[in-house]
Amino acid sequence: MKTKTRTTKGIAIVITALAVASVAHAQLKEPPVPGTYYSAKDFEWKPPLPFNPHPRLPVVEIEPGKLLVDDTGVPDTPEQAEARKRHEEAAALANLIAANPLLAEAERAARQAAQEAAWKANKERITPWLVKPLPRAGDNPATRQTIEPETQSRLLSLAAYFNSEHQGVLEEAAKTGTPTELVFLSGERAVLSSFAEGQPLWSMSDSLTQAVSIATAAVWPGGGAGLTSPARTRPSACGKPVASRG
Amino acid sequence: MTHQEFQGRVSVGDGTTKHESHATAVASVLNAAGLYTIICPVGVTNPQAAKGMSYGGPVISNNSSNDVSEMASQVATNNLRISNHSYSARCGWQWLKAWVWFGDTNVNQTVDWKFGAYTTEAYSIDASAYAARTYLPVDSWEQWR
């Protein structure tokens, strides 16, 4: 029993000593030097970091706040090796192009052709979803107003679908005993528009309180109605007839 | 239908027989002939100031029920060019001579999910507007914030 107590006490003393030593070590250790850390190996093209990525390697302050880490002995990762290879190839090509105007022009033309090909491929990819341009036969307004058979057919099928949805709303209202119209104390009415998650959505007019908060800032001059606007954002009694929302 | 500002240019699109002052006012902004003389500014008589934006055009009047279906079908069959829908799904608390709660307390006791929601109705109107390139619906759906 005595032996056990001694052993426990011994372990506690060791743990305490380790904890005190680690605190003392942490207090003695110098805090990291704030600044921007550059790589000595890739000084020219590797972006600097706001911390030292290799705290154990030597660091030299080359300018106030600008520190150079001697990472020349750190081997490249496969990704870094690939990046270095591509960077060197690009640099060599840039030098070559700079030395030869013909090559520079050929390179520019090749890049332009590649860009145009990419745009063309992209346009072909999205063509099925694009709305076709309006027909402008003879630039005749009457022609432009004509609904194309394809559009008409699409709209009629949409109308039929929306109508079936509306009939579904009416059926659900009848089934659940939900009225299709509410009249409030103010005399205003709300119309059942749909159900969302079983709860009715009620539609009501947006009018007076919304209308007073808008105004016409400008109107075209010289109109037959003779309206003018002081180009202000405050509501104007004369501006009322051209308000866009009732 | 017999209003002097519309001069028989209004027809009913969905068989509704109810009239409403708000809808009439909106129609006047769009299509009033401008016969009513307005004195504005004070002392200046402006005989045509009540003119609507398209004062000679026809108006198709509908109630708001089943509107998304009627919008698509009237664009397809009547070549409807512009429509106005100054109504929307009510959200949260509204004062209607008494406070009325339009939210869903099963979802939240204090906040209504419908504020800013992109509802099925809003989607349906967008679908019609996208399909009809000569049609401009002006809608106040889901403007509540």
pLDDT at A244: 31
Whether A95 is covered by a domain: the verdict is yes
In a domain, A203, yes or no: yes
Q: Give the pLDDT confidence of B8-66 residue by residue, as tens digits.
A: 888 888 888 877 777 888 888 888 888 877 776 677 777 777 788 888 888 888 888 89
Mean pLDDT, consecutive 10-residue segments, chain A of 246 residues? 49 47 48 87 87 91 92 91 91 89 90 95 86 57 65 93 95 94 88 89 73 56 53 37 30
pLDDT value of position A146: 67
Q: What is the DSSP letter of A139?
A: G
Sheet holding A181-183, edge to edge: A181-183, A189-196, A199-205, B87-89
Taking all residues of chain B, what is their mean pLDDT, rounded to a whole number? Answer: 83
Task: Name the residue among B26, B66, B76 with its Cβ closest to that of A152.
Answer: B76
pLDDT at B135 over 90: no
The distance from CA A215 to its chain's CA centroid, rounded to whole angstroms, is 32
Q: A224: distance to nearest CA of chain B, Å?
A: 8
Residues in B touching A163 (Cβ below 8 Å): 66, 69, 73
**pLDDT, tens digit, 9 for 90 and up, residues A65-105:** 999 999 999 999 999 899 889 989 999 988 988 898 888 89
Indicate whether A226 belongs to any domain.
no
The reply to whether A45 falls in a domain is: yes
Specify the 3-state DSSP secondary structure of A13: helix
Q: Does B136 touch chain A (CB under 8 A)?
A: no
Is residue A43 domain-shared with residue A63, that is, in the same domain? yes
A232 domain-assigned: no
Neighbours of B121 (CB within 10 A): 23
The answer to whether the Cβ–Cβ distance between A155 and B73 falls below 8 Å is: yes
Does the pTM surpass 0.80? The reply is no
What ipTM did this prediction achieve?
Answer: 0.85
Range of the domain at A121: 80-126
Q: How near does any CA of chain A get to the CA of B79, in Å? A: 7
Using CA coordinates, name the residue in chain A closest to B119. Answer: A196
Closest chain B residue by Cα to residue A185? B97
Measured CA to CA in angstroms, residue A147 lies from A217, B11, B128 at distances of: 34, 21, 13
- Any idea what the Cα angle at residue A72 is, between residues A69 and A74, rounded to 5°? 95
**Chain B 32-61, CB below 8 Å of chain A: which residues?**
32, 34, 38, 40-41, 46, 48-53
